[in-house]
Amino acid sequence: MSRINEVIARVKETYGKTEPEFVQAVTEVLESIKPIENKHPEFIRANIYERMVEPDRVIIFKVTWEDDQGNLRVNKGYRVEFNGAIGPYKGGLRFRRSVNLGIIKFLGFEQIFKNALTGLPMGGGKGGSDFDPHKKTNNEVMRFCYAFMSELYRHIGPYTDVPAGDIGVGAREIGYLYGAYKKLRNEHTGAITGKAYEYGGSLIRLEATGYGLLYFTEEMLSHRGESVEGKVAAVSGSGNVALYAIEKANELGAKVVFASDSSGTIYDEEGIAGEKFKFLKDLKEVKRGRIKEYAEKFNVPYFEGKSVWDVIADEGIKVDIALPSATQNEIHKRHAEALVKLGVIAVAEGANMPSTPEAIEIYRDAGILYGPAKAANAGGVAVSGLEMSQDAMLLQWTREEVDERLRKIMKHIYREAVEAAEAYGYPGDLMVGANIAGFLKVAKAMVALGLF
């Protein structure tokens, strides 16, 4: 049996029942890098494949906080420092009821290769909590963040491990988390990214994942003689990634007709643009309302309990570009079949692992453009890397400067993926290319570092 197959089998046997998302991510990456196995005997000698799937460190802690009624509540906190071979651990924090170790490990594992692809010196990590900020008051969120950081602060730092946001951790949460970190450490450093500009953040960080997703999509399309302009797009979610994906898609001349939250989906045939987009942004970023209110305000169809992909499949609505930007495993086989049948040109992933393996197989068999998450959504962590650089220099670049660097990084990622795919016999396959390019960089560093 090949070494890679042995490692996949061992991970399935050990975590198949308890950590399915982690097994899914490991299987996807390792299956797709098989073309490198015979060409790099040094990775087998150094047992890289097995070492790569084992986190450097897993930290699990108790978070006790007080709600507004004076009750003491308890949640679990996690930080998985997965691989620090090429730089400080780097990856977001997710606050959501469904968070568990397997989800954090899958996200941390993906993050290793995504970060490597950016060309910046960042290792991979991820963290979070099963705390859900929905329906909590501001004060409760603040008290939770301070309690969470009262444990996490001893494990992180600008050259050790640098968290950022993810689902449930936006500008407000980052502010409280960084406030707690500053208070506990009495220092002002780039130990967290996604900070607001006023207290050491980078311009464009807020927008970076969504903007980067569109820069990547534009790059994919342009190599087929197409462009985003004039295309009809579906975005799922209405959080950080989704909102700025919609904003940039509008700017590039596309029409975005779908958005969603975990309660349902809206379909606006005219496009979520101009005043309508402003309303949505305010609804989600400021008022923290539900997407249903958009449908009520503008009198457009709302589908309670359905995802964007359910609506596309059930109603037979054609889009040219699909940008899943909500959560993992949101596009299943039947959704992918419907997208392809209805004539989608490209799927680019804003969320992490939003397509199931069966869905990915359908995209690839159909020959549509497919931008895998670790390449297509790397813009967020890339600008986080730029935020770390600015913090280290005690400088803040202009919007134009950061945006220009983001564009260059997304082009660089695309090129790396294309070249690796070509070099290993899978021309045009961005999933294989992105996995191989990211893996090679980290594996080479691990070999060079010896027992690290």
Closest by alpha carbon to 321, among 341, 293, 346, 304?
346
Smallest distance from ligand NDP to CB 11, Å: 21
Residue least distant from ligand NDP (Cβ):
239
Site for ligand NDP, residues 206 to 225, rule: CB under 6 A:
209
Span interacting with ligand NDP, options 214-222, 325-333, 394-402, 410-418, rule CB under 6 A: 325-333
Site for ligand NDP, residues 352 to 411, rule: CB under 6 A:
352, 377, 380
Smallest distance from ligand NDP to CB 423, Å: 27
Smallest distance from ligand NDP to CB 267, Å: 16
Smallest distance from ligand NDP to CB 178, Å: 16
For ligand NDP, give the closer residue by CB, 93 or 191.
93
Residue 125 interacting with ligand NDP (CB under 6 A): no
Give CB contacts under 8 A, 24+ apart, made by 400-408: 402/202, 402/203, 402/204, 402/205, 403/204, 403/211, 406/204, 406/208, 406/211, 406/212, 406/215, 406/379, 406/382, 407/215
* Total site size for ligand NDP, rule CB under 6 A: 23
Q: Name which position in 241, 308, 339, 409 contacts ligand NDP (CB under 6 A).
A: 241
For ligand NDP, give the closer residue by CB, 167 or 256.
167
Judge whether 341 counts as a catalytic residue.
no
Site for ligand NDP, residues 277 to 306, rule: CB under 6 A:
none
Catalytic residue among 114, 126, 248, 284: 126
For ligand NDP, give the closer residue by CB, 8 or 107.
107
Binding mask 148-187 for ligand NDP (x = CB under 6 A): -----------------xxxx-x-----------------
Residue 239 interacting with ligand NDP (CB under 6 A): yes
Smallest distance from ligand NDP to CB 339, Å: 17
Residue 351 interacting with ligand NDP (CB under 6 A): yes
For ligand NDP, give the closer residue by CB, 56 or 207.
207
Q: Name which position in 326, 339, 369, 431 contacts ligand NDP (CB under 6 A).
A: 326
Span interacting with ligand NDP, options 66-74, 259-267, 311-319, 333-341, rule CB under 6 A: 259-267
Smallest distance from ligand NDP to CB 445, Å: 23
Indicate which residues carry an active-site annotation. 126
Binding residues vs ligand NDP (CB under 6 A): 165-168, 170, 209, 237-242, 261-263, 325-327, 350-352, 377, 380
